[in-house]
Chains A and B, each alone.
Chain A
Amino acid sequence: MSDLKVTVLNALHRELGAKMVPFAGYDMPVQYPMGVMKEHLHCRAQAGLFDVSHMGQVVITAPGGYAEIAAAMEALVPVDVAGLADGRQRYAMFTNALGGIEDDFMIARRGEEMFVVVNASRKDADIPRMTKAMTGCTVTEVTDRALLALQGPEAETVLEALVPGAAAMRFMDIAVLPSEYGEVWLSRSGYTGEDGYEISVEEGRAEELARALLAHDAVEPIGLGARDSLRLEAGLCLYGNDIDAGTTPVEANLGWAIQKVRRAGGTRAGGFPGADVILPQLVSGAERRRVGLSPEGRAPMREGTPLFADETAETAIGTITSGAFGPSIEAPMSMGYVSTDLAAPGTTVYGEVRGKRLPAKVVALPFKPANFKR
């Protein structure tokens, strides 16, 4: 345990009675005394506070300002970076030469700078990748700020009281705002399908801010367990499970994140790793696709479950990559890859669970419609 890193809120998690587990090299709360199911439901009903300080926060600057940063970043991602408006955030992904996804992350334009938030499990790869490739830019990991997420329908009211200006933001806006807790960097986004914020705050003020948020009746601390069931209900990918270096954005059904300008025929078409694989797939599709799956009955189909076209076929046509019970939809839910001819909603496939072939229906994602403030 001694080589696990801790976030600045580690003592607070323990004080709150969290059960701690190793996650991406950090000692993190998987659940609090409330339990995964109730934490999940509470977040959807009111508001939940998550410690996501293990994620990588990065600021990128360049002598040529945002235009130079965007040009350098566009060589790494299939996303329209140059067209991102000031004060706005966008989903992006690093690709490799084979078109696979090296990480998915958020980019935000903050005046002439870029603010990036990457997965904890990938930051040790992502930061050198940017530093090496984005010559001329200065890539700086932010190591003196914690990252909190406040998610749920009450998040706006709760945060506005502590950080005036938060309520005026809309989905995928970012803002740098003064507060009683020092300068906070807000984005109106998250990983739950609910309205809410991610809040970057100086490490020295993070516990104070977390306690102020938790003091509100509507706010409960939420662990990694419910974070996973919330994101799965929202149809969001977990890097390493649902997407990885061997899945392309088209296979992963993330083609929506590749704007027209970067596609074939666009003014800045291609120019990112794996474009020769990804651009044709955007036009003619891929052999397999990530889909939502609703298993019949109540038993979850978990990651690694092989999928078959029928009850007797010998060759699998896909695999479950995430699976759990959805507390809000009160049913099991999975995501996985199936061959494209079986990817249409309504198709029944069979997962092999404990030696038995059990039916699961392909469904449109998300399982639970999002509740964003657009």
Chain B
Amino acid sequence: MKFTEEHEWLRVEDDLIVVGITEHAAEQLGDIVFVELPEVGTEVVKDDEVVVIESVKAASDILAPIDGEIVEVNETLADAPSTVNEDAIGNGWFFKIKTDDMSQLDDMMDEAAYKKFIG
């Protein structure tokens, strides 16, 4: 699993990359009450705003961690946004992205580096 400084995790599953936010991020956001996901088929460029999370505190944008195409989104979050709090790195995933260039993940943090990053 790879991590970004924006507190996203990326997990490679076959030729797709599953993206979510870390437990640390979910805890910082507080209880999540709404997740707005991108449309399947959207071509995104790194740092595009792709997901909006509303917590009890505020709205936050999640940025695309890499260039690619959104090929699947986690529809279950529409009715159960708290899944992100309960299982951030499992059932709380946001979307799956397809890219021709897996090397975009090369410079990202691994788990040890991310743990160090969040101190």
Contacts and interface: CB of A to CB of B under 8 A. Distances in A.
A299 B34 contact: yes
B57 A225 contact: yes
A328 to B, nearest CB: 13
B54 interface: yes
B57 A298 contact: no
Interface string B36-72: 1000000000000000101011110000000000000
B56 A37 contact: yes
A319 interface: no
A274 to B, nearest CB: 35
A36 B34 contact: no
Contacts of B58: 302
A268 B54 CA distance: 49
Nearest to B30: A36
Interface residues of A, number: 17
Interface string A221-243: 00001000100000000000000
Interface string B71-96: 00000001001100000000000000
Nearest to A40: B56
B56 A324 contact: yes
21 contacts: A35-B30, A35-B31, A35-B56, A36-B31, A36-B57, A37-B33, A37-B56, A38-B31, A225-B30, A229-B56, A297-B34, A298-B33, A298-B34, A300-B33, A302-B58, A325-B34, A325-B54, A327-B56, A332-B33, A332-B34, A354-B52
Interface of A: 31, 35-38, 225, 229, 297-300, 302, 324-325, 327, 332, 354
Given A298-B33, A300-B54, 18 more contacts: A35-B30, A35-B31, A35-B56, A36-B56, A37-B33, A37-B56, A225-B30, A225-B56, A298-B54, A298-B81, A299-B52, A302-B58, A302-B59, A324-B56, A325-B34, A325-B54, A327-B56, A332-B34
